[in-house]
Chain A
Amino acid sequence: MTLHRIEIEVDGDVIAAEVEGRLTLGDFLRDRAGRTGVHLGCEHGVCGACTISFNGDAVRSCLMLAVQADGARIGTIQGLAEADGTLHPVQAAMQAEYGLQCGFCTPGVVMTLASVLEAEKTPSEERLRDVLSGHLCRCTGYQGMLRAAKSLAIQAQTAAGDA
């Protein structure tokens, strides 16, 4: 089995590894980079649990190979909060709105919302609701995460108005 040398920046750490061509990025992040916060709910691109930030875009890590991420800058749920433990606004909104129960879908949901907010600055509530439809949750009936999307959209617009 040929091994390929890759270097990926994960949550600010540069990780170098020799990997098989077939190793998925999701498995790499979990097993080789210690990012077990990246969850695998289907491994066929539907559930969204494995979503990470890939050079700033929300991407499903189960659908990519680790070798395709050579040289990329990846953000995971484990790098989102401040070093002192202060939650990212998306994490805080999800907690305040009871957006999670078992927490299995949560990392993907949070990464998608955080990536869209980062890229688009003032997305509308509709836009955030729309991107949530790419995530499956079996516990919550989506009620809390939809409320979180609403409050994040309002927060972003208020912040932009103040600026």
Chain B
Amino acid sequence: MAQTTAARFVGQRLPRKEDKRLLTGRGSYVADVSLPGMVELAFVRSQVARGKIRGIDIEAARAYPGVRAVLSAKDLDSLGAKCQILHGGMAPAPHVDLLARDNVRYVGEPIVMVIADSRYIAEDAAGLVFVDCTMEDPVITIDDARDGPPVHPDFPTNVADRNAPPENPALEAAFASAAHVVEATIRHQRQAHVPMETRGVVAARQGVDELLVHLACQSPHLSAHLLANTFNLPQANIRVIAKDVGGAFGLKVQPWREELCAVAAALLLNRPVKWIEDRMENLTSAGQAREQEIHCRLALDANARLLAADYDYACNIGAFPQGVDTNFLVEMFLPGPYHLPLYRCRNVNYYSNTVGQAAYRGPWAMESLARETMMELAARQIGITPEELRRRNLITAADQPFSMVTGAVIDRVTPRECFEAILEKVDMATFRVEQAEARKAGRYLGIGFSVYIEPTTMGFGVLSSEFAHIRVDPTGAIIANMGTHSQGHGTATTMAQVIADELGVEYDRVTVHEDDSSRGAFGAGAGGSRQAVAGGGAAIKASALLAAKIKTIAGHMLNANPEMISMQGGRITVEGEPEVSTTLERIAATAYADPDRLPPGMEPGLEAQYRFRSPMFVFSNAAHACICEVDGETGITRVLRWIAAEDCGVMINPSIVEGQIAGGVVQAIGGVLSEEISYDAMGNPTAVTFKDYVIPSAHDVPQIEYIHLVTPSTSDGGFKGVGEGGAIVGPPALVNAVADALAPFGGRCYDLPLTPSRLLAIIDGGEG
């Protein structure tokens, strides 16, 4: 059979289709949208973390010139809106009002909407609203939550969900007789996603009963679906547009209270309503993440082989999280790519009077942080190298498919190969000499590693499938409507690469649309590192259907067997008969405008669609190494080198893959060293600007060195996910590097972030 799909574009570092408009200031982000008659919204937010609303005085605000409406909870009742919790699990979720009604449960909770001719006026008037609110002692930390009064009066305690496996005598026996028992508690601070574009929405009624919503989101289709459920409207009447979105990282999966409020206001006022979150709102009331602590115990035998692991995990999920259930992925993947016979993990989620959690890049990342920091602590305690400890315990190709102690079966992963690849690149012997010399001179260099496997794609719930509709239009141009979505991912580029290969056409001929829920059909967009596998799979399958039709028509027109038709660069030829050819333009013109010349019985037009069933998990994996220096005088950590060896299967565009890894790694650097969402004892946020919430700048990052291993997955195209990995495997590499640097002082630095003052405390109080 003629070969039509030689990979020409997949695997290439092609320029991104998104770039030209973004580089020339012609992008279209939600804040850029302006509609006739549009009004703007500002919120009055709670200034106390826990209390009862006794009364709200809106008179002065309502009288302020330019104010069009001042709305509180009861004004929205006629809409019957229900704010759904997307990742429900089995645990009961609290009821979420769009605006606080009787109780306030965190500082920043929206209480009143002020809608005015401009945001300036809306903010003026918001300052005139007086909320009379009692003040109670709030529940802020995990410790507060354990035995503090319930955040939600209708729940008996602050436990949102708990998983408590029974005692396991075999596990306890393993600990009792182990040659080595290693123990530590690791704390990850609370973080914010901080996409550079904050959240935002412009909502407007259209016609009689339709709704147009421009939204900073991760999927127009999923957002339309959630809006339909929230407002009990037919989904067909809701159109969500998200042309350009300025980063999301999980924060924009679900339109949350504020976005829903703006939609509610547009429905009630019959005018377009715009809300663009400012940075202070973003840091103090958009979804937050992490804030976990985990107590870890490892048992190893005399040969440093793992016998058992026991973890006790707790997470502070805030007052109104977007997911209530204990994160099963933490529990499922804590054992990682190691032989581990016995295992237990207990976990619990607590409510508190803080901002609710939303999924953030690698929401289950605590499994890698806990396991990989423990592996290196174990190596130090036992007195062998971290390389050797990993070699004795990592699974290899011969072990696969490998059944983890948790029941997950992993296959086609290369943790050992990735680990060896980074070791080769760093040259440990030379580094240890350098480190020893530096120590003599009072300089603290350290190296840290981490190895992990990642469940990508997550083909369950709303992520179960992905969609592509691909057509050749009457001019021969190829247009794909897909359920993928980019908030920087470059899916209009990668999907075009896949489609161009499958159809044997030029990359420039393909345009991918993914920005409008009224085009194409349901697809969940970005989330769960799914788009290469799910979107790529849909693109391949739909392209194959379309290619088959093109070949059938070409065979008919050229009087050849369709199996002998070959397509390359838009030219269509017959195998072995180079002089016989036609073009895609001609076939398209026939299909649309001269259907009588089509094969008998064939429907006119040239298009195909396919809904791809996503695999549950496609495993990717990586090993990272980080070299850092901790300044003994200032406690400041500088990252000097970062080496990432990953295996994400077939790479569609290596530059885009590297961009995803780099973005995740640098978020990891911020998470380990500087970022922290903090509250005072009364629940007031203390990181409210980019001066307090410090994310890495260009000064703080090394040039990342990449090594690509390619083990194709069994999914169509051989792709695996790569979007979240750097943020999962990155943090332990850096924590381990700092721990290694501070080994002369005991090296136990497990309270994140590793700020200069924390590290100085270790240096000053350490064993050195």
Contacts and interface: CB of A to CB of B under 8 A. Distances in A.
Q: Do A and B come from one complex?
A: yes
B704 A143 contact: yes
Interface string B5-30: 00000000101101110111111110
Contacts of B196: 39, 41, 47, 49, 102, 104-105, 136-139
Given A102-B196, A135-B698, A142-B701, A39 B29 contact: yes
B690 A44 contact: yes
Nearest to A42: B279
Interface string A28-47: 00110001111111111011
Contact of B19 (A22, A95, A104, A140): A95
Contacts of A110: 23
Contacts of B120: 20, 22-23
A76 B25 contact: yes
A103 B244 CA distance: 8
B695 A136 contact: yes
A2 B464 CA distance: 57
A122 interface: no
A144 B663 CA distance: 11
A128 to B, nearest CB: 10
Contact of A143 (B194, B197, B662, B690): B662
A38 to B, nearest CB: 7
Contacts of B19: 94-95, 100, 103
B474 interface: no
Interface string B688-700: 0111000111110
A146 B698 contact: yes
Contacts of A81: 23-24
A42 B689 contact: yes
B689 A46 contact: yes
Contacts, number: 175
A140 B656 CA distance: 10
Nearest to A109: B698
A76 B25 CA distance: 8
The B interface, classified by DSSP as helix, strand, loop or mixed, is loop
Contacts of A39: 29, 31, 196-197, 246
A87 interface: yes
B658 A143 contact: yes
A87 B698 contact: no
Interface in B385-406: none
A135 B489 CA distance: 20
B224 interface: no
Contact of B659 (A96, A105, A144): A144
Contact of B698 (A96, A101, A129): A129
Give chain A's interface residue range (CB within 8 Å of chain B): 35 or more
Nearest to A144: B659
Given A132-B698, A136-B690, A141-B663, A98 B656 contact: yes
A78 B26 contact: yes
B369 to A, nearest CB: 19
A36 B690 CA distance: 22
A77 interface: yes
Nearest to A1: B65
A79 to B, nearest CB: 9
Interface in B636-672: 655-656, 658-659, 662-667
A140 B663 contact: yes
B488 interface: yes
B490 interface: yes
A143 B662 CA distance: 7
B194 A138 contact: yes
B428 to A, nearest CB: 25
A103 B27 contact: yes
A128 B193 CA distance: 27
A70 to B, nearest CB: 19
B532 to A, nearest CB: 15
Interface in A1-36: 20, 22-23, 30-31, 35-36
Contacts of B666: 140-142
B703 interface: yes
Contact of A133 (B195, B667, B691, B697): B697
Interface string A138-158: 111111111000000000000
A44 B281 CA distance: 13
Given A41-B279, A136-B695, A104 B197 contact: yes
7 contacts: A39-B196, A47-B690, A91-B23, A95-B15, A101-B490, A102-B487, A133-B698
The 3 closest A-B pairs by CB, nearest first: A37-B25, A104-B246, A103-B22
